[in-house]
Amino acid sequence: MCESTNSVKLKLVLVRLLCCCATACPFIFATSVVPCAFYCKSAEMAELMENEVVRAFSTYAVIVVVKMLLMGPITSYNRFTRGSFSNEEDVARKSAEEKKKLLKTHPDVERVRRCHQNDLENIIPFVTVGLLYALTGPELSVALLHFRIFAGARIFHTITYIGALPQPSRGLSWVVGMLVTFSMAYRVLNTVLFL
């Protein structure tokens, strides 16, 4: 399949996706200039989900997003076990002396928070670029390689960050994840670049 055909397919899928969003939530798109010349049916979305690359992307995107979501409870666990709170209302029922002890930072809590922040900075771009990449019609084996390496790199990054493993383990896992995202972005731009 030539690149121009992939570009046309990607644009068609994006228009269908926007149309489905407009149909599902007309309030958001009421003032939008997005034309919806055809009705989206659930069959069209089902057809999109039959694409093996899109299904693979969905699987790995959910894995890394769930990993990112778990960072919140891990942060809370560390706050309670380390007695480290950052907001007045979190310790409102304590005495003034206890408040002073509890309203402080703790290195373990801050480490988990920084890891969570790093997830936000890397997983959100992966999900965005990865969806566009999946829609460009790459080979399944190449797409799986991208998705698996990214998921593995992010999981390893979290283990090295929270476990305080020596560098360059954390740095290398971050670089590997970023390179995967840039590789997918290159494919998307190479397929649909329109200047």
**Which three-class secondary structure string do you get for 103-172?**
CCCCHHHHHHHHHHHHHHHHHHHHHHHHHHHHHCCCCHHHHHHHHHHHHHHHHHHHHHHHCCCCCCHHHH
pLDDT bracket for residue 123 (50, 70, 90): very high
Residue type, 151: A
Q: What's the CA angle centered on 75, arms 181 and 175, to 5 degrees?
A: 20
> Distance between CA 129 and CA 171 in Å, rounded?
22
Is the pLDDT at 45 greater than 70, yes or no? no
Confidence band (pLDDT; 50, 70, 90) for 193?
Answer: confident
Higher pLDDT, 180 or 30: 180
Residue 2 in this model has a pLDDT that exceeds 80? no
pLDDT of res. 138? 92
**Is-above-0.85 flag for pTM?**
no
Q: Which residue has the higher pLDDT, 176 or 91?
A: 176
Asked if residue 17 has pLDDT above 90, the reply is no
Phi and psi (nearest 5°) for 179? -65, -40
Residue where the block lists tokens 């972005």: 185
Q: What is the mean pLDDT of residues 138-142?
A: 94
Average pLDDT over residues 103-111: 76
Which range, of 54-68, 70-84, 111-125, averages the lowest pLDDT?
Answer: 70-84
Q: Identify residue 183 by its one-letter amino acid code.
A: S
Handedness of CA 130, 134, 136, 140 (dihedral sign): positive
